[in-house]
Amino acid sequence: MAFVLEAKYRWAKREGGCVNESRVMVAGAIVGALIGAAASYLFFTDSGKQVRNRFEPTVDELRQEFARFQRTIEKVGEMANDGIRAVNEFNAARAQSSFSNPRTSH
């Protein structure tokens, strides 16, 4: 990831000048240290365990809501497919109809 940040921002102009490699490396180190500190707190302290225990029901509820949302999206997709199928069947029936007049425009 540091390589991507380095390649992307090496020549980026800012008001203070160019973003150089050392700034990107320092920023990456700071972000990594913060993530490591948060993970250490959550997994290696008693108060972190309490925080995780409080968040667990919320995470479970979110997981259930996302699953419900996914099922809703799948149902919408099925309805759209049914609608497309009905339109295609209608067009096929209209094309085979003996009442269609080739001179009329639709």
Residue 103 has pLDDT above 90, yes or no: no
Considering the chain, what is the average pLDDT of its residues?
84
pLDDT of residue 8: 54
Greater confidence (11 vs 75) lies with: 75
Which is it for the CA torsion 81, 83, 88, 89, positive or negative? Answer: positive
- What's the pLDDT tens digit per position in 54-67? 999 999 999 999 99
Identify whether 51 is part of a domain. no
User: Which pTM value belongs to this model?
Assistant: 0.46
Do residue 39 and residue 61 come from a single domain? Answer: no
Do residue 66 and residue 30 come from a single domain? Answer: no
Do residue 5 and residue 38 come from a single domain? Answer: yes
Give the domain extent around 90. Answer: 56-95
Do residue 37 and residue 62 come from a single domain? Answer: no
Do residue 40 and residue 63 come from a single domain? Answer: no
Identify whether 17 is part of a domain. yes
Q: For the chain, what is the domain count?
A: 2
Task: Measure the CA angle with vertex 74, ends 84 and 60; round to 5°.
Answer: 170
